[in-house]
Structure 1
């Protein structure tokens, strides 16, 4: 009986269906594997692909993680006639398009369009960044088009496929490798903010600074596209309507998506506003410029260690705990007043947010019994949760107001993250009941 109780805990072994009990015989109509053979779980091609995905995370989402630098720069210098809430719509729109476009890119990935997606997406991101450098002070519409819309489209084409392709090459190591790959995002969030702060606020200025960073990102994306490879699918991709019907009847899946949606509303507050918060509290600009890099450095550690911790705690348990910790830390931002408080908040939030983000794709993969549907399921979940990211920055900016009242957005965003954790707890109870 004791052994049976321990079996109720979710493990990180993706070879088991999330609702499967040990020793239970699978039904005859269970989905067939989507690959011609079982993934090799390693090898030169697999690790080279993982490296390419890692670089794409640095150049893609890693760059978007540096928006706190742009938020501060636009608010104080470049778009002084706009409120923080209005400016935050740039990142919010980009994040929304990135996530919602996986509804299309995920489907195309399932149909074997991986190379088309990553090449077109990489070219579009490179061109959009170079075009951004031509925006002049006060030209909000141009910045919205290039940094909000075009970069959002570019990352929407590449993000889902370059994570999903890991499932084609790894089985037992899948969670660990996915965590390593996604650590490229906060690593980029260390590199890009330091570079951008010195370029935008230094002698280079906005135009030259953005062009230099665009060149750096373009090199990363080029190497990434040359490194990644796919393995052939042996089963035809299921139609989106079929996958959507399956998802609508999958209660744990629906609860997972709902919980992540709520958490996303509050999740981005420290990422967008920590640097501005630090400067507005009288902390030196020289130190404040490193606040986002501190957060992302801790996030790298969080994402790398998540794959090690998950087999002992279970994917869902670790997701719940890390998201709840993020909510508590966001509320604690009301105590930010000096350098030590910025360091503590940056490290703590960076670590637990890194663990939380690292768990999402492996958790989604684990609740997907047929990997030929992974791209479609990823697209559906990312599209729904994208609305949380769309609302995150603007709601926080509106609550912050032009008077910079930090108490209200800190409490609101922290509580909404905790509510998301509670929904995931309900998901946990439903899974236990179904077992």
Structure 2
């Protein structure tokens, strides 16, 4: 970037005489186009001027061009990056919006609304979409316990857990496709089709009687529908919020807490009253109502952009090491995150807690996560996403270590409340670092890539825990495994922050 030094035509002959006599020359430096002003810069002589030009930032050269009677000399001026923008060599600033860190390209300069009726209607829609997707999935623990005791009691806990693991995996795995479609501007049609699939598969679960039928309907079909609903909902928020993304994400994930609280209680209350088939049909009608709202309120704001790199952009991992490290951390997180929610119900039953109370533990976990998500939505914007979710990930890992040692109703309830709060703080801020590690035009694909890799952890986490439970005869080793995975996830999150900031402390 160069600033121009102009000598007015009226002074032309005088300046030449001063140049020849080696007297002081005064130059006025201005560059209003670049937003900074450096005045009273003086060069004492022609020789000093040459020395000044040699000392400036490379490339070091001058250009002279004549327009009419005015002579214009362009001298390069070194610019320094400041906290608020660009500074010239005199310290005057030029404000410039910050782009993404650790990624490639720069973020769109279009201002996000960060509020207003239309933006908050989007939040309302995403809240209902997470209620019907993630909220429904996180109630799996009550189905795991019910199937082990009734419909699928001839199957091992690990094999039953594969149904729930397929759900969790497919919540995030389709994000790769849905994210790419979202970036290309294809959003509403896949979203409506996925909503129809989710409702239809829930109706079909009512007719299932054999293991493979549950795997097909409640595992594959339900999981696929949930995944195509959940992923694009998060990407939509990136179009409407920037400074308040944490708050918007926190309000969005409130829906999953409400769903995760309502669905288990409704399921275990309705089964004795109307039977399993009609229970599933009632749940399907709840999903139908919930999904109608986002179908009408969710919409993209920015125009589509055909970004390079294909469906799965491997170059993003090469160009952005922080993004790579963060994705590895998400894999470890999902290996351990859903273990307590899956097995806390059945672990309570094995420790002598009445089944009439044990199923409430899943609802207690999800209800407590509501408070965690509200707190997360408030603090993530103030402290930075990783600064908040990394410590709470460590806390959730510690609670996971303690869970198998809780054997009474009161201690298990305390674990449910504590784990619900700590784990609930993680999800709202999980996608925000991904928003910051690249261009906004690629936000859907990057989110989808992160979700796809996290899906691998979600797929194998619960079955591994079930296999450990069967081989060890208890849940202590299960807690050690899941807790360790979450501690590792927190370490990788902190490593991501270090790679971005190049220091151990800072806001990110």
TM-score above 0.5, yes or no: yes
Deviation at 1:33, TM superposition (A): 4.6
Cα 1:45–1:130 shift into 2, 3 Å? same
Residues 136 and 259, structure 2, Cα contact 8 Å, conserved in 1: yes
CA distance in 2, matches of 1:291, 1:114: 36
Cα 1:323–1:28 shift into 2, 3 Å? closer
Counterpart secondary structure, 2:474? coil
Residues 264 and 385, structure 1, Cα contact 8 Å, conserved in 2: yes
1:274 has 2:347 as partner:
no
1:307 matched residue in structure 2 = 377
Task: Name which of 175, 200, 225 aligns with 1:154.
Answer: 225
Deviation at 1:326, TM superposition (A): 0.9
2:64 matched residue in structure 1 = none
Flag structure 2 segments of 5+ consecutive residues without an equivalent. 1-80, 87-95
1:285 has 2:355 as partner:
yes
Higher strand share: 2
2:147 matched residue in structure 1 = 74
Task: Name which of 264, 270, 275 aligns with 1:199.
Answer: 270
Cα 1:283–1:383 shift into 2, 3 Å? same
CA distance in 2, matches of 1:179, 1:362: 11
Flag structure 1 segments of 5+ consecutive residues without an equivalent. 1-19
1:63 matched residue in structure 2 = 136
CA distance in 2, matches of 1:350, 1:242: 33
Residues 84 and 402, structure 1, Cα contact 8 Å, conserved in 2: no
Task: Name which of 478, 482, 494 aligns with 1:425.
Answer: 494
Deviation at 1:313, TM superposition (A): 3.0
Deviations 1:275-302 (A, max 9, x none): 1111111112222121111110110111
Task: Name which of 7, 32, 50 aligns with 2:123.
Answer: 50
Residues 204 and 217, structure 2, Cα contact 8 Å, conserved in 1: yes
1:376 has 2:445 as partner:
yes
CA distance in 2, matches of 1:237, 1:50: 26
Moved more, 398-407 or 60-69: 398-407
1:167 has 2:234 as partner:
no
Task: Name which of 255, 276, 284 aligns with 1:214.
Answer: 284
1:144 has 2:227 as partner:
no
CA distance in 1, matches of 2:184, 2:201: 27
1:123 has 2:196 as partner:
yes
Cα 1:246–1:131 shift into 2, 3 Å? same
Deviation at 1:156, TM superposition (A): 1.7
Counterpart secondary structure, 2:207? coil
Residues 238 and 372, structure 1, Cα contact 8 Å, conserved in 2: no
CA distance in 2, matches of 1:327, 1:113: 38
CA distance in 2, matches of 1:265, 1:28: 32
1:360 has 2:430 as partner:
yes
Deviation at 1:34, TM superposition (A): 4.6
Deviation at 1:403, TM superposition (A): 7.3
- TM-align CA RMSD: 2.1
Provide the TM-score with structure 2 as the length reference. 0.77
Residues 83 and 402, structure 1, Cα contact 8 Å, conserved in 2: no
1:241-280 to 2 correspondence within 5 Å?
Answer: 243-280=313-350
Counterpart secondary structure, 1:229? coil
Deviation at 1:264, TM superposition (A): 1.3
Point out the structure with max Rg over C-alpha: 2
Cα 1:365–1:28 shift into 2, 3 Å? closer
Deviation at 1:134, TM superposition (A): 0.4
1:3 matched residue in structure 2 = none
Cα 1:431–1:135 shift into 2, 3 Å? same
Moved more, 325-334 or 237-246: 237-246
Task: Name which of 159, 173, 181 aligns with 1:86.
Answer: 159
Structure having greater relative contact order (Cα 8 Å, sep ≥ 6)? 1
CA distance in 2, matches of 1:94, 1:336: 28
CA distance in 2, matches of 1:403, 1:255: 32
1:101 matched residue in structure 2 = 174
Cα 1:319–1:21 shift into 2, 3 Å? farther
1:350 matched residue in structure 2 = 420
Moved more, 358-367 or 143-152: 358-367
Counterpart secondary structure, 2:303? coil
2:28 matched residue in structure 1 = none
Deviation at 1:358, TM superposition (A): 1.3
Moved more, 277-286 or 64-73: 277-286
Residues 187 and 300, structure 1, Cα contact 8 Å, conserved in 2: yes
CA distance in 2, matches of 1:282, 1:258: 38
Provide the TM-score with structure 1 as the length reference. 0.90
Residues 176 and 311, structure 2, Cα contact 8 Å, conserved in 1: no
Deviation at 1:214, TM superposition (A): 0.8
CA distance in 2, matches of 1:405, 1:289: 19
CA distance in 1, matches of 2:285, 2:377: 32
1:23 matched residue in structure 2 = 84
Cα 1:28–1:117 shift into 2, 3 Å? closer
CA distance in 1, matches of 2:198, 2:287: 9
